């Protein structure tokens, strides 16, 4: 897709067309104010048009953090669309950052938090995370500028480590590979968990931007926007600071429970021409209105439309704890029938016991350990007499934890069983293993 300007620079050692082998970065000095020799020409070109942030320019060989990468994407997006993402009315959901460009990325749907309350700005960016955020930015530019940058492909690439790709990253990686943004490594792996450096992110971003320049896909004022980015960002942060604190209460949220849900311009199932977008399974939307059997919602991509009530689960993050417990139980029931998959974390594609519980609780801002053993230590211990809907029930032998479930009341649990997938069973009698504990993770 990128033509000769992209392909002539491709180095397959790490797969992203801007990358070289990991061995080149091993042993580099802690601070590198100049780029590697292989990266010099393109980084100088990026610097010349101001397509580099000050943070990344401080150390080109430094491993890439979420905060540093998000700033680069926001700068690129705003320059490409000749717009400034408005965050003046955005309520900051994160407890660990108030950076304007992070709020912009969150508001635009380019980046999300690690949990509902944390962004973890200093966390390192993996290859699959970098591709997902890059594709989100490109798709936002496509929507805003009414252009096509990424060409859809029905073919699915096959890598030796295909199973290591997270389910939430598969679609973006397939799209990026099809459009030559990413390729496999020399050993036919994609290495989704590998880390990237500042210079690799700059060059990957520059080549996408270069392609948009060559094909005249940018708004006319992109050069001025790049030059004035830092000033614009500061002004936005200053004017937004007071308003963020005074933002209106959080609106009702909902989670998509269908595999794919059509977002429509009007509440009408009979008109195939009113489909304005697609919502994916587990996508969170904001409810802004209600008409009969329909909700009017704003998607994570900031598109407003109508969805049928049967295919989303509504909840209110501001409700008291008891209501949150009921919401968790109601949400958990939406996935009855999902197949069991060892190591799985997809509520619609396949989960194991701890994958199921961790994904359910994550939607309500509770971060559980990934393993059943870890979840058996999350929260606080409660007795059977204290057990409430939304508490965890832990099974095993002699203190060794082997299974975890969610108590839903009336002597029942909901859990991912190895034989029948997600189902409701009796608290006692179904599992071979005895109950060895109860945990409350809901404050």
Rounded-to-integer distance, Cα 368 and Cα 392, Å? 11
Q: Give the model's confidence band at 372: pLDDT under 50 very low, under 70 low, under 90 confident, else very high.
A: very high
CA distance 127 to 113: 17
Q: How far apart are CA 286 and CA 267, in angstroms?
A: 16
46 or 367: which carries more pLDDT confidence?
46
What confidence tier does 315 reach under pLDDT thresholds 50, 70, 90? low
For residues 230 and 356, the model is more confident at 356
pLDDT confidence bin for 1, thresholds 50/70/90: very low
Least confident of 22-36, 96-110, 329-343, 428-442: 22-36
Q: Which residue has the higher pLDDT, 302 or 210?
A: 210
Q: What is 321-440's CATH number, 3.30.1660.40, 1.10.260.40, 3.90.1720.10, 3.40.50.300?
A: 3.90.1720.10
Query: Considering the chain, what percentage of its residues have pLDDT values greater than 90?
Result: 33
Rounded to an integer, what is the distance from CA 319 to the centroid of its chain? 25
Backbone angles phi, psi at 181, to 5 degrees: -75, -35
Domain ranges of the chain: 3-245, 253-315, 321-440
Q: Quick one: pLDDT at residue 249? A: 42
CB burial of 376-411 (b: ≥16 within 10 Å; e: otherwise) equals bebbeeeeeeebebbbbbbbbeeeebbbbbbbbeee
Distance, CA of 229 to CA of 327 (rounded, Å):
42
How far CA 420 is from CA of 238, 250, 330, 337, in Å, comes to 54, 37, 20, 7
Q: What is the pLDDT of residue 236?
A: 65
Helix residue spans in 246-383 (DSSP H) = 321-333, 353-362, 372-375
pLDDT (average), residues 42-54: 93
Known catalytic residue at 313: no
Mean pLDDT over residues 351-379, rounded?
90
Whether the pLDDT of residue 175 is over 50: the answer is yes
Q: Which residues pair with 417 in a beta bridge?
A: 421
Whether 415 is a known active-site residue: answer yes
On whether the 253-315 domain is CATH 1.10.760.10, my answer is no
Q: For 72-115, what is the HEC assignment?
A: HHHHHHHHHHCCCCCCCCCCCCCCCCCCHHHHHHHHHCCCCCCC
Which span out of 21-30, 255-264, 341-350 was modeled with the highest average pLDDT? 341-350
Residue range 274-287: mean pLDDT, rounded = 83
pLDDT value at 146 more than 60: yes
Note the pLDDT tens digit of each residue in 69-114: 999 999 999 999 988 888 877 788 888 888 889 999 998 899 988 7
**Whole-number pLDDT of residue 29:** 35
- Residue 184, pLDDT > 60, answer yes
pLDDT band at 405 (very low <50, low <70, confident <90, very high): very high
Mean confidence (pLDDT) of the chain: 81
Contact 352, 343 (CB under 8 A): yes
Mean pLDDT of 371-378: 91
pLDDT at 188: 82
Per-residue confidence band for 51, with pLDDT thresholds at 50, 70 and 90: very high
Specify whether the CB–CB gap between 254 and 284 falls below 8 A. yes
What would the mean pLDDT of 414-429 be, rounded to a whole number? 93
Going across the sheet that includes 304-308, the strands are 275-280, 260-264, 304-308, 294-298, 284-291, 253-256, 312-315
């Amino acid at each position: 897709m990128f033509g000769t300007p992209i392909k002539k620079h491709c180095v397959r050692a790490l797969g992203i067309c801007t990358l070289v082998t990991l061995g080149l970065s091993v042993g580099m000095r802690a601070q590198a104010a100049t780029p590697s020799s292989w990266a010099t020409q393109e980084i100088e070109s990026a610097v010349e048009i101001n397509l580099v942030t000050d943070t990344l320019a401080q150390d080109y060989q430094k491993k890439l953090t979420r905060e540093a990468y998000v700033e680069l994407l926001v700068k690129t997006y705003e320059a490409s669309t000749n717009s400034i993402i408005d965050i003046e009315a955005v309520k900051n959901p994160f407890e660990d950052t108030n950076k304007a460009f992070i709020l912009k990325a969150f508001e635009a749907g380019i980046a999300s938090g690690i949990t509902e309350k944390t962004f973890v700005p200093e966390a390192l960016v993996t290859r699959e995370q970098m591709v997902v955020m890059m594709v989100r930015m490109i798709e936002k530019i496509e929507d805003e500028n009414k252009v096509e940058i990424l060409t859809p492909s029905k073919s699915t690439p096959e890598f030796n480590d295909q199973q290591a790709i997270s389910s939430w990253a598969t679609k973006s990686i397939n799209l990026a590979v099809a459009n030559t943004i990413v390729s496999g490594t020399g050993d036919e792996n994609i290495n989704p968990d590998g880390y990237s450096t500042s210079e690799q992110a700059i060059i990957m971003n520059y080549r996408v931007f270069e392609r948009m320049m060559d094909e005249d896909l940018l708004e006319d004022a992109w050069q001025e926007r790049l030059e004035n980015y830092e000033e614009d960002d500061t002004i936005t942060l200053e004017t937004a600071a007071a308003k963020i604190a005074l933002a209106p209460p959080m609106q009702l949220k909902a989670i998509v429970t269908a595999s794919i849900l059509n977002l429509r311009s009007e509440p009408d199932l009979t008109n195939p021409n009113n489909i304005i977008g697609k919502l994916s399974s587990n996508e969170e939307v904001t409810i802004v209105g209600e008409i009969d059997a329909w909700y009017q919602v704003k998607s994570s991509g900031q598109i407003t439309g109508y969805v049928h009530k049967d295919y989303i689960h509504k909840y209110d993050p501001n409700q008291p704890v008891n209501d949150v417990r009921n919401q968790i139980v109601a949400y958990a029931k939406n996935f009855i029938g999902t197949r069991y998959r060892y190591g799985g974390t997809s509520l619609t594609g396949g989960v194991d016991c701890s994958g199921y519980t961790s994904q359910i609780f994550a939607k309500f801002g509770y971060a559980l350990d990934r393993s059943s053993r870890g979840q058996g230590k999350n929260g606080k211990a409660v007795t059977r007499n204290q057990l409430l809907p939304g508490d965890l029930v832990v099974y095993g032998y002699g203190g060794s934890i082997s299974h975890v479930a969610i108590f839903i009341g009336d002597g029942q649990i909901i859990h991912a069983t190895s034989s029948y997938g997600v189902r409701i069973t009796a608290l006692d009698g179904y599992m071979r293993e005895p109950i060895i504990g109860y945990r409350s993770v809901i404050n």
